[in-house]
């Protein structure tokens, strides 16, 4: 009987705690919406972060769109490699913003490899790019 009462009390305490947390979250959300003047969407937040990043980062380190022409040396581009973020309203997608670090081929020559199968590997050299999305 004592154990049952203790468990029932623990359940009541957990339900009250969950109700309090939900109330506080709802209160903070309503205050934030009142302070901003509208409900912020993910698209609004993304636009704000792009604006903020322009002020935060030095021009040399500004995030740029992940969209690159694919070409052979000395030839015109044969295609485009791009990672794009979709928009909820269905408008045209923009490339994601990434911070890029380029290591030129001559600075630290390291061949890159990947396996095509158990017996075939591809080895290639060139500039190395490291991308980081914020």
Using a CB cutoff of 8 Å and minimum separation of 24, what contacts does 56-61 make?
57/99, 61/99
Q: What is the pTM of this model?
A: 0.56
Torsion of CA 79, 123, 107, 73, to 10 degrees: -30
Residue 50 CB contacts under 8 Å (≥ 6 apart), including other chains = 63, 97
pLDDT tier, 112 (very low <50, low <70, confident <90, very high otherwise) = confident
| pLDDT more than 70, % of the chain | 98
pLDDT in tens, 63-87: 888 998 888 888 888 999 999 987 7
pLDDT in tens, 2-26: 999 999 999 999 999 999 999 999 9
């Amino acid at each position: 009987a004592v154990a049952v009462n203790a468990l029932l009390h623990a359940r009541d305490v957990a339900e009250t705690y969950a109700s309090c947390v939900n109330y506080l979250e709802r209160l903070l959300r309503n205050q934030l919406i009142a302070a901003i003047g509208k409900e912020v969407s993910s698209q609004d937040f993304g636009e704000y972060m792009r604006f903020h990043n322009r002020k935060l980062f030095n021009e040399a380190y500004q995030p740029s769109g992940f969209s690159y022409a694919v070409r052979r040396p000395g030839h015109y581009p044969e295609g485009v490699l791009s990672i794009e973020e979709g928009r909820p309203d269905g408008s045209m997608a923009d490339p994601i913003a990434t911070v890029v670090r380029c290591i030129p081929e001559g600075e630290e020559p390291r061949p890159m490899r990947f396996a095509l199968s158990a017996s075939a590997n591809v080895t290639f050299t060139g500039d190395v790019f490291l991308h980081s999305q914020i």
